Structure 1
């Protein structure tokens, strides 16, 4: 009676072993699925962090540009004061020195950031104060003849001229339409011009009807000060006015960006050193509530995402272009997660194949043992 019982016990043991390994295989499959899920979650978090870094950079750029306001109210107040002083008086150089120059110097010394204050009369008289490094100078024409203008050092405390006047090479750009009416009537209007010290200036201009024009300017280098402390998270920034004057640039190697009238064009450097067009006239003007769209460009075998938008800087319509390299943490996380999932799948496939082979060998041995027992 023992033999049948022993045979039955061995048969049960033979058949329960594969079942036990199948249970282990199921647990292993579940664990692999959990690991894959966790890897995808980590990758998703890294992608979200990369998106947040991009969005934060874009917000920081737009906030920095909005911090620079035109000096319209100061220019308008100065024009009002001078209009009351002159009250239709015919201009001569002594009158300009006595009635206009003191107000101009006061504006230069009291209004923050200002480096140039200018009065230009309809009859081509001009007088202005400007700063060049630590020294203050006066620029003037002492007659209505347009051919001659001078610069002369100024006492930084009193505004009085001293030393010798030196003939200036600066060309006075006389345009009668500026003196009568600006683009928005007699209201202050902005401009971006080269100043007397050869620096690029944001100017606020106020026409004085029947008399001339008042301009107050601060240096475009203020833009660099606004952006110098920003964390660009590895991106590259190109900021320029609508007519293409570069205000700030964090250069991207072997790349040239050109801005014109709310669009930008991109050129890449070839192996022969020449630059070729990659994209042209990409519009940066967005509809209301529209999201920023990006353009994918490959630069030196690395993918970059280009974003752009229009901004207002001290009243000047401008465009910023941001280029984000795509081979950072986001790409590395995606590559690592795909490699990890592939290794897990290969491990699981190897385990399944080994287990199937093991079960096949056990069943074959069991069949052989059953046949030998019957014999």
Structure 2
């Protein structure tokens, strides 16, 4: 498999890269992937005579197989595995989605065409990148990150609170232990008509917070950044 050595070179040298894959126009798919809690990388692959897309990819038989951490060559038994394909954002070149092998493993995905033969996708696990780029030291505060269309990336730590993003507006809600809304804290417009942003003050469960809404881009994925600072 000629594409595998190139994929493994990227997989083994690019920092924070936890998934790299090639999807060919001829029906070939091959990927290297490492789980967060395991050092053992695996290959995920299938081959089909039909072109691949997200609508028909679940029709094929997918396999996972352990690979050498030094060479990337598969060894041992190949195991049939169900695919997991979820892109949470609409930008096909930079998106938020899950890994090919775990629907709970959130990734920033960068995809590019390759000489008309297919596409290459680089996947960076969200949690380590946020720990590196978005350390938050606000005493008693919390940080919330989401995509522009409201998919939560970092949910924040204020208890019994839900943040809902819709269009250019942010709604802060109070919820009970079952996730049912029991109150409305307020709404924030992230960008005013003149392009500026404003600080908003809220009282959440008898604690005062200031909220400043701003835009953030990580690996091409556009996010809404909402730091809650207590005072």
The normalised TM-score by structure 2 is 0.81
1:242 pairs with one of 121, 130, 148: 148
Partner of 1:140: 45
Flag the structure with higher helix content.
1
The number of equivalent residue pairs is 217
Post-superposition CA distance 1:23-44 (Å, at most 9, x none): xxxxxxxxxxxxxxxxxxxxxx
Alpha-carbon distance, 1:270 to partner: 6.1
Distance 1:169 1:112 in 2: 28
Alpha-carbon distance, 1:110 to partner: 1.2
Distance 2:109 2:146 in 1: 16
Alpha-carbon RMSD across the aligned residues, in angstroms, is: 2.9
Summarize the Cα distance change of 1:253–1:102 in structure 2 as closer, same or farther, 3 Å threshold.
same
Distance 1:156 1:269 in 2: 46
Partner of 1:157: 70
Summarize the Cα distance change of 1:109–1:278 in structure 2 as closer, same or farther, 3 Å threshold.
same
Distance 2:178 2:11 in 1: 50
Which one has a bigger Cα radius of gyration?
1
Distance 1:294 1:166 in 2: 53
2:206 pairs with one of 301, 309, 313: 301
- Contact kept, 8 Å, 2:148 with 2:222, in 1: the verdict is yes
Partner of 2:14: 111
Gaps of 5+ in 2: 51-58
2:184 pairs with one of 278, 291, 295: 278
2:34 partner SS: strand
1:210-221 paired onto structure 2 within 5 Å: 210-221=116-127
Post-superposition CA distance 1:27-73 (Å, at most 9, x none): xxxxxxxxxxxxxxxxxxxxxxxxxxxxxxxxxxxxxxxxxxxxxxx
Structure possessing the higher relative contact order (Cα contacts under 8 Å, 6 or more residues apart):
1
The normalised TM-score by structure 1 is 0.52
The answer as to 2:16 corresponding to 1:102 is no
The answer as to 2:104 corresponding to 1:191 is no
2:23 pairs with one of 88, 99, 120: 120
- Contact kept, 8 Å, 1:262 with 1:318, in 2: the verdict is no
1:244 partner SS: coil
Distance 1:273 1:256 in 2: 8
Distance 2:125 2:223 in 1: 16
Summarize the Cα distance change of 1:114–1:278 in structure 2 as closer, same or farther, 3 Å threshold.
same
- Contact kept, 8 Å, 1:191 with 1:316, in 2: the verdict is yes
1:231 pairs with one of 132, 137, 161: 137
Distance 1:271 1:159 in 2: 46
